[in-house]
Amino acid sequence: MSERTLPDAPARGRRMIPRDVTESLRAATPLELLFDLCFVVAVAQAAAGLHHAFATGHTGFGLVSYAMTFFAIWWAWMNFSWFASAYDTDDVPYRIAALVQITGALILAAGIPRAFDHRDFTMAVAGYVVMRTALVANWLRAAASDPAGRSTALRYAAGVTTVEICWVAMLALPHGMQSWAWPVLACADLAVPVWAERRHRTTWHPHHIAERYGLFTLIVLGESILAASLAVQGAVDTRAATASLYSVAGGGLLIVFSMWWLYFAKPAHRFLTSNRAAFLWGYGHYLIFASAAAVGAGLSAVVDDATGHGGASGAVVTVPVAVFLLAVWVLQQRPHHVGRGHNLIVPTAAVLVLAATFTGAPVPVTGVVMAVLAGVAAAFTRRRPE
């Protein structure tokens, strides 16, 4: 029996009952890790599309497409993760439903290039429907097995199904109108959990949720490292490497390492004590995830510029880094009620990062600013231990 398996595992295998919110050793499961691994593909597709937009000078169009496609990725991952935190029975029907959702994620990933380049959402919506249909089946199963949470589960099932039908109906709209319908439907999707949990909170586990978000943060940071390393490799293979290129590579590593350091400097589970705090923290992570993945696309574009194959400005790196810093400051640091000095260093660093855009070496300068920020944050942490 594994550490995370409850003593009543046979009973749990027959019925989808809530997890214990005080359960010790509540860690991510191998199935959840597989789910995250498959989402790497979707994140990579979105980042690649953004890189191409930067490289070809279509930054505005690329940013809008990136925001739309990354929302679909993030929201599908969110729904699986929070449901699993409350009702992970780890039996055969649950595993099959999770594998179906993974299949939907891969279909979604395959549709991202079309959605990104041509705003053709057909395949992306198809993958989304596959994922959401499996999720609805899980909520209906939870409603049948958990009398206390029945109304909440039925609300989730009804809300998800309704919005899912609307997404499919959107495909019948004229192409130009689909882009206007998209934000409306995205807001409707975001509203479903708020409405569903008004009467009864699902039994999500704070420590487990914090770990799941941390793991996805590692995924998007890994995408940034991979994108930059592949770009540098391509430059070296074509003998286009220059001192500027190596300074970009070094600065990029400092940026990503510091982003990791800052995100994991404070434990998040301690302030996830209510739905209100959880909604703000969980929804706000869209900015953390999207900006972290965008840093990789920006680094790739700056590498192209350093080798004479593009004209991207340093803003494609500095802006997402600044967004990441401010989002981490609001969601991960301020809730810990740190001192005034500690509370000011991150916004100050974000301003300095934006100012680095106008220097001759924005990526190395940003890397130095981030490294100094990580060092100062570490010093404050030693002075004010948890």
**Same-domain status, 101 and 214:** no
Q: Distance between CA 84 and CA 31 in Å, rounded?
A: 10
Say how many C-beta atoms besides its own lie within 10 A of residue 315's C-beta: 18
CATH of the domain at 350: 1.20.1410
Q: Both 185 and 259 in a single domain? A: no
pTM exceeds 0.75 for this model: yes
Would you say 258 and 373 are in contact if contact means Cβ atoms under 8 Å apart?
A: yes
Cα-to-chain-centroid distance, residue 123: 21
pLDDT in tens, 265-296: 888 888 888 888 889 999 999 999 999 999 99
User: Largest Cα–Cα distance of the chain, in whole Å?
Assistant: 66
pLDDT of 373 over the 50 cut: yes
Q: What is the pLDDT of residues 303-338, one digit of tens each?
A: 877 776 666 778 999 999 999 999 999 998 777 666
Cβ-contact 288, 331 below 8 angstroms: yes
Q: Give per-residue pLDDT as tens, 73-98.
A: 999 999 999 999 999 888 899 999 99
Placement of tokens 């409306």 in the chain = 184
Instruction: Please identify, among 164, 196, 228, the residue that sits at the C-terminal boundary of a domain.
Output: 196
Q: What are the φ/ψ torsions at residue 198 (nearest 5 degrees)?
A: -65, -35
Distance between first and last Cα of the chain: 33
The answer to whether residues 238 and 374 belong to one domain is yes
Q: What percent of the chain has pLDDT over 90?
A: 53
Domain region containing 256: 206-383
* pLDDT tens figures, 161-212: 999 999 999 999 987 788 889 999 999 999 999 999 988 888 899 999 999 9
Strand ranges inside 80-185, DSSP E: none
Closest CA to 258 of 204, 315, 328: 328
Q: Is residue 100 part of a domain?
A: yes
Residue 4 pLDDT > 80:
no
Residues 275 and 333 in one domain: yes
Cα 270–Cα 271–Cα 272 angle in degrees, nearest 5: 100
Domain tally, the chain: 2
Whether 177 and 272 map to the same domain: the answer is no
Domain boundary pick from 196, 227, 262: 196
Query: 59-87 and 206-237 helices cross at what angle (nearest 10)?
Result: 140
Say yes or no: 230 and 156 in one domain. Answer: no
Write the pLDDT tens digit of every residue in 96-135: 999 999 999 999 999 998 888 888 899 999 999 999 999 9
Q: Which of 196, 225, 243 is the last residue of a domain?
A: 196
CA 196/CA 25 separation, integer angstroms: 28
- CA-nearest of 87, 101, 46, 85 to 69 is 46
Distance of alpha carbon 21 from alpha carbon 11, whole angstroms: 18
